[in-house]
Structure 1
Amino acid sequence: MIKLIASDMDGTLLDAEMRISQENIEAIQYAQSHGIEFMVATGRNRSEALPALEEAGIDCAMITLNGAQVFDQEGNVVFSAPIDLETTQTILDILDEHQIYYEVSTNKGTYSESKEQRIENFAAHIAETMPHLTHKMAIAMTVARLEFLPIHFVDSIHELIVQDEITILKIICFHKEGAVYLGPAAKKINAYDELFVTSSGENNIEINHRAAQKGIAVSHVALNRNIDMKEVMTIGDNLNDVSMIQAAGVSFAMGNALSELKEYAKYVTEPNVQSGVGKAIRRAIDEEL
């Protein structure tokens, strides 16, 4: 019997409007009524993840920043896997060399050096997932969406990260040309054994400490709850979900997931815009998967 469900957010739990559908909300409540704990496992930081959850009335533990931080239901940090300062400086030098835009997530929030580049790169990401949109429509949708994703803009991230109170947890990089620019940089960064490079879209890469993976974080939570991984269900859509899809006894790929993730998952559900998470939860419970 399933005792713990961990779901990705973007492209999974959230619909095209970055909200949690009523069908998904009711399925989560259905799981909770069966004594099953629900939590999210997202690439977002906690402050970025909270608005959609609070709007839906969902109060849960969170795996954030791909597993770099785990929070209990009250918002206390119970696990953290940061990137050290020297390694971070090396990563940023590589990204600067390849002219790649990046944002750095820390214990004090997420930081960027350019609001304009942030909008451009997120618009490219939206256009990738919704190709029917014009560039102008993608920009407008991006501006509306980014209001829900808190970020701090600074003149120099290099100067920010040397401050004593700053702990670096994740670096996310974007380029509208995708792998053409990101690939060579990722290859250099991958040479560092302590780092783990993944992606949540064709035009980005996400860099974490090797211990910061969703699968590791879900296993940590399950161990803390005295739950066997065979009793854990995970749901995702992209490459940063692979580790938790592989680790769980019951795993679902979204209908809109990458084909590679579908190969790892035991089951496939409907796309995120059709409340695939809710359908997967009800199927898993009703069919006793």
Structure 2
Amino acid sequence: MIKMIVSDVDGTLLSHGYINPKCIESIKKAQAKGIEFVVASGRDYYGVTSVLDPLGIKCSAILGNGAQYCNKEGKAIMDCYLDKEMLKEILPVFIENNTPYMIFTTNGFYSNLKPDYVRDRFAYRGSVRFGNKMEDFLPGGPMSDSPACQIQQFDSIDEFIKKDLDIIKVEAFSHDESEIQKVLPYFKNMKK
């Protein structure tokens, strides 16, 4: 007997910003039969609920690439947050190479890079990979609630570490292979 169904979100359940109505119907039928439906995503809780709530789907979620497990109400019932001290090793690599990155926390999204730079590079990546338009990420656009559009800038890594925040993940992104190759060697020998 099936007790649980777990689905990835982006590129699986959600394709080009759209969930097939047959999938929605199947999820609701499974839930009506007592089968637990869970989503697994690199997104944060709001990023998942902003997609599922309008469809009337309430479910538990594995978030931040496994950093959190939240119940249907959004309460984190298990977590595996990044040690803040690791930021002292990770962030300088991105900063020195001007690689756009975002820090996902339990209370917002951060970078020491200019928010517009992070948003524009994320939007460009989305346009290449998923066919998004750059204007989708501007205020009022359909992607304007994405983490890349909500970046809060900080100046000092040491000061940022002192904030009362838990680190869900650090996400760097690029569509430029040469840029990726510049930062990869730094992480191959990093302590886990």
Residue from 137, 145, 148 that aligns with 2:145? 148
More relative contact order, 1 or 2 (CA 8 Å, 6+ apart): 1
Return closer, same or farther for 1:56/1:82 CA change in 2, 3 Å cut-off. same
Q: Which residue of 2 aligns with 1:6?
A: 6
Residue pairs, 1:205-220, within 5 angstroms: none
Q: Give 1:164 deviation, angstroms.
A: 4.1
User: Identity rate of aligned residues, in percent?
Assistant: 28
Gap regions ≥5 residues in structure 1: 195-289
Compute the TM-score of the two structures, normalised by the length of structure 1: 0.59
CA distance in 2 between counterparts of 1:59 and 1:190 reads 39
Q: Give 1:159 deviation, angstroms.
A: 5.2
Residue pairs, 1:128-139, within 5 angstroms: 128-130=128-130, 138-139=133-134
Return closer, same or farther for 1:157/1:11 CA change in 2, 3 Å cut-off. farther
Compute the TM-score of the two structures, normalised by the length of structure 2: 0.85
The SS at the match of 1:175 is: coil
Could you list the per-position Cα deviations for residues 12-66 of structure 1 after superposition, in whole angstroms to 9, with x for gaps in the alignment? 21232x2433222111012223321111100011122211111111111011100
The SS at the match of 1:12 is: coil
Q: Give 1:172 deviation, angstroms.
A: 0.6
Could you list the per-position Cα deviations for residues 137-195 of structure 1 after superposition, in whole angstroms to 9, with x for gaps in the alignment? 72123332332325242243625532241221200112241x3212332332232241x
Return closer, same or farther for 1:157/1:42 CA change in 2, 3 Å cut-off. farther
Q: Which residue of 1 aligns with 2:179?
A: 181
CA distance in 1 between counterparts of 2:89 and 2:144 reads 31
State whether residues 115 and 151 of structure 2, in contact with CA within 8 Å, keep that contact through their aligned partners in structure 1: no
Q: Which residue of 2 aligns with 1:38?
A: 37
Q: Give 1:7 deviation, angstroms.
A: 1.1
The SS at the match of 1:148 is: coil
Q: Tell whether 2:52 aligns with 1:63.
A: no
Could you list the per-position Cα deviations for residues 107-161 of structure 1 after superposition, in whole angstroms to 9, with x for gaps in the alignment? 212223433223322332223234xx6xxx7212333233232524224362553
Aligned residues: 187
Q: Give 1:73 deviation, angstroms.
A: 1.5
Return closer, same or farther for 1:145/1:156 CA change in 2, 3 Å cut-off. farther
